[in-house]
Chain A
Amino acid sequence: MSVKRDSFSVSLTVGAYGSAFGAAAVAANFSVLQTCLLSLLLFSGASQFAVVGVIAAGGTPISAIATSTLLGTRNGLYGLRLAPILKLHGWRRFLGAHLTIDESTGVALAQNKDDDMRRGFWYTGVGVFIFWNLFTLAGALGAQAIGDPAAWGLDAAVPAAFLGLLWPRLTDRKAWVLAGFAILLALSLTPLVPAGVPIISCALLAVIIGWRR
């Protein structure tokens, strides 16, 4: 079954990436428990990295929460898009909502028949959830076992992870222009305002550039 195969390969590759998250979170002084809870409860890669990135940069919890939530708004739109296909009620809607992420949505929407879409969503959602959490734990324990994070390059793994998430989105000129301005704004604000604020301020650039077509 190609739906099964797609779901499995996506789950394993993306899940393995959880080890980078686990290691990065522990390197940023989150406990192993807190790190694992982020993967279990937040369960959205970019938002999880954002929480860790903002706190590691010295930001307040509020700016970490705000950045992570803004990054997670796309999951809400995925849910909106998937609702008429999944048709979930009761506890299934809770479960389905929790598993609504880039990968489960991507595999679901890549299918042609409604039935395959539903299977793609559930297989991938559950698969990524399992592997992502297992690898998070492995990464967290691994990072805890080694000492100085910089000696192992974990301080560079965080920006590299963000870059890996960003790269596939840089598909047109508008995206590159926005990225250029975001670098300028974030770095020029860094010495001037409290940590975390330079990052969330860049959301304004998205509004300005997205306002016109």
Chain B
Amino acid sequence: MSTFWIAVIGSSALAFTTKFLGASVPQSALGHPRALRINNLVPIALLTALVAVSTFADKSRLVLDNRALGISVAVVLLIAKAPFPLVVVGAALTSALAYRYF
């Protein structure tokens, strides 16, 4: 089975398991404040790492390329409170132009 299929099936199965467990465990499991705090921080840590790696990594090298320019525009758009789709399109458009002309 290919890398892609393992990733698709494995992540889907675990995603459903997580959701179903949440809907099924007794309420007393609604936990410790520390666990809740960490749970709120995990997405921040992982999403930030994903932003950094998908912007600056090319396999195991760090690079500064058209993507960095795209993500800078995304940051500006987010600060300006632009809606979600505009942020993605703005970043993509900038990156595409940089890729074409530099």
Contacts and interface: CB of A to CB of B under 8 A. Distances in A.
B11 A51 contact: yes
A163 B71 contact: yes
Interface in B60-93: 60-62, 66-67, 69-71, 74-75, 78, 83-85, 87-88, 90-93
Interface residues on A, range: 35 or more
A153 B96 contact: yes
With most chain A CB atoms within 10 A of its CB, the pick from B5, B30, B60 is B60
A156 B67 contact: yes
Interface in A40-96: 41-44, 46-47, 49-51, 53-58, 60-62, 64-65, 67-84, 86, 88, 93-94, 96
A38 B13 CA distance: 10
Which of B47, B70, B75, B87 has the most A CB atoms < 10 Å from its CB? B47
A203 interface: yes
Interface of B: 3-8, 10-12, 14-16, 18-25, 27, 29-30, 33-34, 36-57, 59-62, 66-67, 69-71, 74-75, 78, 83-85, 87-88, 90-97, 99-100
Interface of A: 13-14, 16-17, 20, 29-31, 34, 37-38, 41-44, 46-47, 49-51, 53-58, 60-62, 64-65, 67-84, 86, 88, 93-94, 96-98, 100, 150-167, 169-170, 174-175, 178-179, 182-183, 185-187, 190-192, 194-195, 198-203, 205-207, 209-211, 213
28 contacts: A13-B83, A20-B85, A34-B5, A42-B11, A44-B15, A53-B53, A61-B7, A62-B10, A74-B40, A76-B19, A82-B23, A83-B22, A94-B20, A96-B23, A97-B23, A155-B66, A155-B95, A156-B70, A156-B95, A163-B75, A166-B48, A166-B51, A182-B49, A183-B51, A183-B52, A190-B61, A202-B48, A203-B46
